[in-house]
Amino acid sequence: MYTLIIVPLVAALIAFVLPSDRFRPHIVAVTAAIHLVCTFRLRVGDVSEWGWLAVDPLGYLTLGVLSIVFALCSVYAIGYLRVRADRPNRIFTVCLLAFLAMTTGVTLAQHLALLWVAMEGATLSTAMLIYFNRNARSLEAAWKYLMIGSVGIALALLGSLFIGYAAFLGAGGKASLLFQDLLTNSEALSRPWIRAGFVLLLVGYGTKMGLAPLHTWKPDAYGEAPGLIGALLAGGMTNCAFLALLRIFRITVAAGEGAFARELFIVIGLFSMAVAAVFMAGQRDFKRMLAYSSVEHMGILVLGIGVGGLATFGTLLHVVNNAFTKIVLFLSAGNIHRAYGSKRIEVVSGALRRLPISGALFLTGFLAITGSPPFGPFISEFTILNGAIQTGHFISAALFLIFLIVIFIGMGATVLAVVQGVPSEKADTGFRDSFWKTAPMFVSLALVLMMGIWIPRQLYSFIEEAARTLQGAP
């Protein structure tokens, strides 16, 4: 289990020491491959010596998605860094590997403090990734990300301390912050502190997830960072923050404040969807549009957990579907951006003609993420809707549907403007599709399609088990 964290860290060290820019991208790809193999060899129930790291169904689900997302992005990175050979890539690759180590830590951490430390590490390593382009705009994005992110991380720390105090009041000096101990002693936890701590942690980790109203870093960061980083953030980092929220949610439910937590989840989820719908309508910048799409889907995730019942299963399924679809969208958007030298729809048109593969994938990715059959997100969004109706959340279900439709229309207008029409001669950087920069998207799209038609039996029973733990089973 330690290898999963140590390998990327050692690789980061090697990448840092290596003098040449040429081999570093390959180090990232090899590390990603090792990480992927090790992840699939893990068994649920493995526990490290002190019990601070362990593989549980929820964490393993996030880890598996993270590992696949990172592997696909690392293949893309080979092609990407070849195009950007003019820039030194030392810091970029080191930060990528550090990001992998830290996010893996988040998925395995079974201790409230360790979870926070890993989350903080992941945040800091991504700040430098956003700043890769080293211009005024990416600097602004990185600064906003750091400022908003550090407020979020400070809130999460305060919230963790509150939970700690709740445990302290319950158990005195022997209080432990291991999730398992918190769950077993949940009766003794002081409920006012749990409530206050839950709110702080929801806002704190919600900032990392990009839930409205603390999503403001997202359009800037996703807009200015390379498409690859957008994919990693939207498909990896945000899921890790969601996992952190789920862990806190379990404790809050066990402590008897479940109704309170669910209500907050529903409100903040619907609010995020509403904000995304408003800002996606008439969005002129297609990368910022993707950022709002990410805000929307994070909203869907917390909404699904808030609704509960069947929707819990749908939400965990959506974690997988959203991550894979986001890869297709962000990587193809990155290619289109590079080919036109702009991400404004006034300039970009006719992507289907100029970049037949990326353009087509961008369009397909849009159809998938907005919930068109036969892709995975259709199944998971439908399950969440179903769950909302079954548990009697009729207003939430209606709003959910309305937002989905509004977003489909708003996003569709921007996407169609990008892919249709005739490419203008002026905006052309000479960049075209290449193998390394399209292959990962095909794999990802195949996964999204598979999730829509046939969910592997093992994955199915696995998600069911994870959903059961969220429903209050020990």
Contacts with another protein by CB under 8 A lie at 112-113, 116-117, 120, 124, 127, 131, 134-137, 139-144, 146-147, 150-151, 153-154, 157-158, 160-161, 164-165, 168-169, 172-173, 175, 177, 190, 192-193, 196, 219-220, 223-224, 279, 283, 288
Nearer to another protein, 31 or 190 (CB): 190
Q: How far is the CB of 150 from another protein (least distance, A)?
A: 6
Nearer to another protein, 107 or 283 (CB): 283
Rounded distance, CA 43 to CA 96, Å?
26
Q: How far is the CB of 271 from another protein (least distance, A)?
A: 17
Q: How far is the CB of 204 from another protein (least distance, A)?
A: 11
Nearer to another protein, 283 or 370 (CB): 283
Nearer to another protein, 114 or 439 (CB): 114
Longest distance between any two alpha carbons in the chain, whole Å? 71
Nearer to another protein, 143 or 436 (CB): 143
Rounded distance, CA 293 to CA 362, Å?
14
- Asked if 320 and 61 count as a contact pair (C-beta separation under 8 A), the reply is yes
- Asked if 66 and 82 count as a contact pair (C-beta separation under 8 A), the reply is no
Q: How far is the CB of 338 from another protein (least distance, A)?
A: 19
Q: How far is the CB of 136 from another protein (least distance, A)?
A: 5
HSE toward the beta carbon, residue 432, CA cutoff 13 A: 4
Classify the phi-psi angles of 392: left when phi > 0, otherwise alpha if psi is within -120 to 50, otherwise beta: left
Rounded distance, CA 174 to CA 172, Å?
6
Nearer to another protein, 136 or 473 (CB): 136
Q: How far is the CB of 119 from another protein (least distance, A)?
A: 11
Nearer to another protein, 44 or 281 (CB): 281
Rounded distance, CA 67 to CA 47, Å?
19
Nearer to another protein, 279 or 366 (CB): 279
Nearer to another protein, 82 or 134 (CB): 134
Q: Calculate helix-pair angle for 356-369, 310-340, nearest 10 degrees.
A: 150
Selection from 84, 114, 85 nearest residue 102 by Cα: 114
CA 223 to chain centre: 16
Per-residue CA distances from 310 to 26, 380, 394, 417, 464 (Å): 42, 10, 14, 37, 10
- Asked if 76 and 264 count as a contact pair (C-beta separation under 8 A), the reply is no
* Alpha-helical segments (H) within 281-425: 286-307, 310-340, 351-354, 356-369, 376-390, 394-419
Task: Dig out the tokens for 41 from the structure.
Answer: 């060899």
Selection from 227, 214, 224 nearest residue 143 by Cα: 224
Whose tokens are 């800091």? That residue is 124
Q: How far is the CB of 134 from another protein (least distance, A)?
A: 8
Q: How far is the CB of 275 from another protein (least distance, A)?
A: 11
* Alpha-helical segments (H) within 308-340: 310-340
Q: How far is the CB of 276 from another protein (least distance, A)?
A: 12
Q: What is the end-to-end Cα distance of the chain in Å, rounded? A: 23
Nearer to another protein, 130 or 467 (CB): 130
Is the four-CA dihedral 364, 365, 367, 371 of positive or negative sign?
positive
Nearer to another protein, 200 or 418 (CB): 200
Q: How far is the CB of 224 from another protein (least distance, A)?
A: 7
Q: How far is the CB of 448 from another protein (least distance, A)?
A: 28
